[in-house]
């Protein structure tokens, strides 16, 4: 059975799953219940400067039948007095010595303020400190949160102040509200942080109510930008994580990275590990399903690790990083085409329409008698009726014209009905970099490109 224990920059926890700093970690009583449910650690809801919250502070993006594909919040850091938070953290750590208790902090950009909060956190017996340079709303307007995280020089300066006094591990949490996530991460490395974490929430307006014309959520008829999180942000988080783990400076620094942003299932968790995370944080999924989610996360991850032969979390961490490539290094001769499994196909024709209107017009509708039907020639009123399904034309891909764009695969509603299969292209493997090196004119001039295509047999239609 896989060993889920981790040692993250010296912070030990029985599994890699920590609650992210957010509403599920607002109080000692809550985290106590979370630890009873099995969570390996918790990052306490950010403590620091005095704040007042508004009510009606979460918006959500529902899509189809999926509730909370993303959440948007205009909540601030902890609005409970700092003394109460510190007392509860002390009690929690005493009760749960084997769990990771990390405290998120955010104060004004003054060395004394940071020195003071770091000392107060250390006095609680907490295992680590997370620096919140990410909150994109409310605090950023006051010069904190993402106002710091977006400026690498500020990240470096404040982290240096923290490192002057900190004796427990310090995790620098990054904001995704920046063009190049690598720059603040490098600043963390330069300042001597012990670890990095990402991503905090993404600036967003989640919607406008078409009845009242107000933003959602609306606070007395007014609203504003808030932080976006949940399943919808996972691809952005994964890309930022991979960017850090493939950056020479960040990767060579050896700083461990705590990954978060949309983790809901064990499959999400495994993907974050494969792209370089060595601890995982979860917020929105817990706000949606509760602390019991931890059972599925641990069971699923552990079963998958057993099936794949991974003994420890460290064995999984970064295993897919060697697959991360730049476009210029991809094989331009690789050829895949779409294959439809006609036994599974329900003849909904979504693939046909997608290919016809948005791809390369290479799916034919073939009638039961073998004739190619004119587009939409069948009786649309029969759509979905079982008795009419045998008489409907079925989609057939013309291999020679398929460019392998994968649009039909993506729109098909039936699992495994369309497969992308590799076919020999008849061309030598070659990358854009290699073409540029061998004959730079090809990559700079359309006429030369045309000649090259003719020479190697690339037909564009
Ligand atoms: C309602 C809400 C409040 C949050 N409050 C904090 C906070 O106080 N400090 C912090 O560092 N991050 C805060 N976050 C960000 C989360 O810690 C996390 O970075 C983000 O939600 C991405 O993870 P997720 O997709 O699992 O939710 C908050 C997120 C939400 C949704
Ligand atoms: S992969 Fe693209 S080009 Fe090929 S059949 Fe599907 S939609 Fe058409
Ligand atoms: S989208 Fe899928 S199910 Fe629908 S017609 Fe195409 S292959 Fe069949």
DSSP assignment string, 271-327: HHHHTT-SEEEESHHHHHH-TTHHHHHHHHHHHHHHHHT--BHHHHTTTTGGG---G
Token pair recorded at residue 282: 């979860």
The single residue listed with the structure tokens 């409907």 is: 392
The pLDDT of residue 283 = 98
Distance CA 281, CA 201 (A): 13
Average pLDDT per 10 consecutive residues for the chain, totaling 461 residues: 97 98 98 98 96 93 95 94 97 98 96 97 98 88 88 97 98 97 98 98 96 96 95 98 98 98 98 98 98 98 98 98 98 97 93 94 91 67 58 91 97 97 96 96 96 93 82
For residue 286, what are its two tokens?
Answer: 């817990």
Sign, CA dihedral 62-66-67-68, equals: negative
CA 293 – ligand 1 centroid, Å: 17
What burial class does residue 112 get, using C-beta atoms within 10 Å of its C-beta: 0-12 exposed, 13-18 middle, 19+ buried? exposed
Distances from the Cα of 95 to the Cαs of 89, 168, 195, in angstroms? Answer: 10, 19, 26
3-class DSSP assignment, residue 264: coil
Task: Give catalytic residue positions.
Answer: 135
SS3 132: strand
Distance 364 CA to ligand 2 centre (A): 11
Please give the Cα distance from 87 to 102 (Å, whole number): 14
Q: How much is the pLDDT for 135?
A: 85
Predicted pLDDT at 253: 98
Distance 375 CA to ligand 3 centre (A): 15
Residue 143: left (phi > 0), alpha (psi -120 to 50), or beta? left
Contacts 24+ apart (CB under 8 A), 308-316: 310/2, 311/2, 311/3, 312/2, 312/3, 312/5, 313/3, 313/4, 313/5, 313/6, 313/16, 313/273, 313/278, 314/6, 314/278, 316/270, 316/273, 316/274
* The pairing of beta strand 363-366 with beta strand 394-397: antiparallel
Expressed in angstroms and rounded, the spacing between residue 265 Cα and the centre of ligand 3 is 27
CB 408 within 8 A of CB 355: yes
Residue 321 makes CB contacts below 8 A (sequence gap 6+) with 242, 245, 246, 274, 275, 276
Nearest partner of 293 among 433, 301, 101, judged by Cα: 301
Protein residue with least CA distance to atom 22, ligand 1: 261
Q: Is 446 exposed, middle or buried (0-12, 13-18, 19+ CB in 10 A)?
A: exposed
Pocket of ligand 1 (CB under 6 A): 20-23, 45-46, 58, 71, 73, 75, 77, 104, 132, 134-135, 173, 200-201, 227, 229-230, 233, 260-263, 282-285
Residues 6 or more apart whose Cβ sits within 8 Å of residue 352 = 363, 365, 375, 395
Half-sphere exposure of 404 (CA within 13 A, CB side): 13
CB distance 273 to 16 below 8 Å: yes
Task: Kindly report the protein residue whose alpha carbon is nearest to atom 4 of ligand 2.
Answer: 402
From the CA of 231, how far away is ligand 2's center (Å)? 27
Asked if 277 contacts 17 with a C-beta cutoff of 8 angstroms, the reply is no
Give nearest CA residue, ligand 2 atom 6: 408
CA distance 80 to 345: 56
Residue with tokens 């977006």: 150
Q: Which atom of ligand 1 is nearest to the CA of 77?
A: 8
Ligand 2 within 6 A of 163 CB? no
Tell me how far apart the alpha carbons of residues 147 and 297 are, in angstroms, rounded to a whole number.
34
Residue 121 has φ and ψ, to the nearest 5°, of -70, -45
Tell me how far apart the alpha carbons of residues 180 and 451 are, in angstroms, rounded to a whole number: 37
Closest C-alpha to ligand 3, atom 4: 348
Q: Which two tokens stand for residue 456?
A: 């190697």
Of the listed ligands, the closest to the CA of 413 is 3
Which residue among 346, 394, 416, 420 is best mutated to probe the pocket of ligand 3, counting the most ligand atoms within 8 A of its Cβ?
346
């Amino acid at each position: 059975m896989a060993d889920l224990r981790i040692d993250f920059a010296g912070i030990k926890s029985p599994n890699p799953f920590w609650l992210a700093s957010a509403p599920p970690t607002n109080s000692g009583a809550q985290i106590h219940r979370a630890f009873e449910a099995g969570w390996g650690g918790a990052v306490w809801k950010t403590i620091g400067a005095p704040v007042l919250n508004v009510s009606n502070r979460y918006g959500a993006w529902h899509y189809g039948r999926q509730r909370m594909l993303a959440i948007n919040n205009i909540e601030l850091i902890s609005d409970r007095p700092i003394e109460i938070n510190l007392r509860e953290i002390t009690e929690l750590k005493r009760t749960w010595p084997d769990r990771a208790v990390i405290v998120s902090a955010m104060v004004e950009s003054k060395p004394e303020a940071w020195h003071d909060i770091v000392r107060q956190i250390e006095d609680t017996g907490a295992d680590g400190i997370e620096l919140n340079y990410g909150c994109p709303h409310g605090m950023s307007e006051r010069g904190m949160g993402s106002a710091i995280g977006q400026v690498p020089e500020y990240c470096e300066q404040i982290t240096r102040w923290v490192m002057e006094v900190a004796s427990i591990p310090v995790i620098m949490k990054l904001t995704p509200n920046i063009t190049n996530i690598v720059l603040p991460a490098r600043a963390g490395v330069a300042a001597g942080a012990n670890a990095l974490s990402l991503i905090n929430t993404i600036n967003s307006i989640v919607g406008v109510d078409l009845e009242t014309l107000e933003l959602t959520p609306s606070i007395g008829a007014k609203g504003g930008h808030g932080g976006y999180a949940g399943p919808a942000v996972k691809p952005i988080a994964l890309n930022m994580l991979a960017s850090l783990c493939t950056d020479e400076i960040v990767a060579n620094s050896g700083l461990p990275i705590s990954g978060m942003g949309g983790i809901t299932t064990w499959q999400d968790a495994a993907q974050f590990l494969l792209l370089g995370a060595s601890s995982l944080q979860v917020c929105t999924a817990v706000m949606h399903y509760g602390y019991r989610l931890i059972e599925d996360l641990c069971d699923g991850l552990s079963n998958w690790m057993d099936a794949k032969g991974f003994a420890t979390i460290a064995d999984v961490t970064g295993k897919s990083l060697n697959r991360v490539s730049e476009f210029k290094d991809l094989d331009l001769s690789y050829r895949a085409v779409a294959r439809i499994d006609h036994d599974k196909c329900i003849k909904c024709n979504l693939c046909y329409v997608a290919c016809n209107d948005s791809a390369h017009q290479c799916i034919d509708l073939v009638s039961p008698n073998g004739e190619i039907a004119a587009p939409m020639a069948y009786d649309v009123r029969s759509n979905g009726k079982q008795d009419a399904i045998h008489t409907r034309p079925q989609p057939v891909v013309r291999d020679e014209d398929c460019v392998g764009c994968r649009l039909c695969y993506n729109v098909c509603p039936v699992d495994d009905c369309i497969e992308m299969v590799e076919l020999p292209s008849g061309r030598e493997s070659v990358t854009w970099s290699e073409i540029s090196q061998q004959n730079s004119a090809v990559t700079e001039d359309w006429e030369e490109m045309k000649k090259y295509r003719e020479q190697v047999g690339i037909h564009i239609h």
